[in-house]
Amino acid sequence: FQSDSSTIQNSCAGKPSCTVFHFAKTLATCENRPSAYLHIGYTCIPNDMPSITTYNLCDNGSLPPMNTSRGFITSPNFPTTPSNIDCAFNLQTLKPYEDIYLYILDMDLNSPNLIGQSCTKDRFIVSSDNNVMEMCGRSYTDFLLSTCHSSVLLQLIRTSDARGRGVKLYFEFRGRSPQDICSEIITTISTLQPTPPTGLTTIPKPSESIGPSPHYVTTLCFPDTSSLFGTNNFQCQTNYILVILRAFYGRGSRCDYSPGDCTSEA
């Protein structure tokens, strides 16, 4: 068994806890030397919590009110979304200097007929500041985007013979400093350069988890013993599920990332 990003996603994404193994991997980009550690960045986000409001993606009149910090957005009657839909939801920040963070909790739509084809029957379209993403098929729980622009337009198109449960999203509005420059939209964290890990952050209890979802980092050394005897080495608090933000193998002078380490995306 060899952990890699797809295996980690399949094992962990959307689950309250999971176990990840690290067996040393030969790194072609590091002169075929074995990896010393597996670095995994992740967060825990709410899944089903009655205290968090759910908004209908096809009801643009139910936009979040002032002082909203987070919420769910679902296609109509999710998980039994009807066919013959073409609707949009304009998610807008409510205060100055707020960023939008958007996550996919579940997406189950028609897939293209052939690999490489564009979406034809079902389409979920995300637009912000002249950037457009079009998606279909199925997706595990995943980070979708973050932007400091004030709005994100979400559109769902389903034909008469569309299949699948539909779409369920989770969003957060996060405050930022007025001095921060609004840069390009981030649609995947995996393209960023490695940053020094801070170690495993203590996960707050649900009553404390009212702010932005924190970013945790876990480094699995080789050999790794944290997963022995069936122990889950990734764990969220009650009613929260895992989102894997990034995973990469590394080799350096110690068992965690340092600038200058040789790394390879998992």
194 vs 259: CA distance, rounded Å? 8
pLDDT of residue 232: 75
Q: How many helices (H) and strands (E) does the chain have?
A: 1, 18
pLDDT of residue 229: 55
102 vs 174: CA distance, rounded Å? 11
Rounded to the nearest 5 percent, the helix, strand and coil shares of the chain are 10, 40, 55
Do 261 and 194 form a contact (C-beta atoms < 8 A)?
A: yes
Q: What is the CATH number of domain 54-175?
A: 2.60.120.290
Cite the beta strand spans of the chain per DSSP E: 17-18, 26-27, 33-34, 37-46, 54-56, 70-74, 85-92, 98-108, 123-128, 131-135, 138-139, 142-147, 151-158, 166-175, 216-221, 234-235, 240-251, 262-265
pLDDT of residue 195: 35
Whole-prediction pTM: 0.83
Which residue carries 């960045």 as its tokens? 41
Instruction: Quick: pLDDT tens for 208-247.
Output: 345 678 888 888 888 766 655 556 788 899 999 999 998 8
| Positions in the chain short of pLDDT 50 | 1-3, 189-209
Assign residue 241 a region (left: φ > 0; alpha: ψ between -120 and 50; beta: otherwise): beta
pLDDT of residue 111: 82
Give strand pairing partners of 250. 37, 263
95 vs 150: CA distance, rounded Å? 9
Instruction: Quick: pLDDT tens for 172-203.
Output: 999 888 888 776 666 553 333 333 333 333 33
pLDDT of residue 213: 84
pLDDT of residue 13: 92
Q: Show me where the domains of the chain are located.
A: 5-44+191-265, 54-175
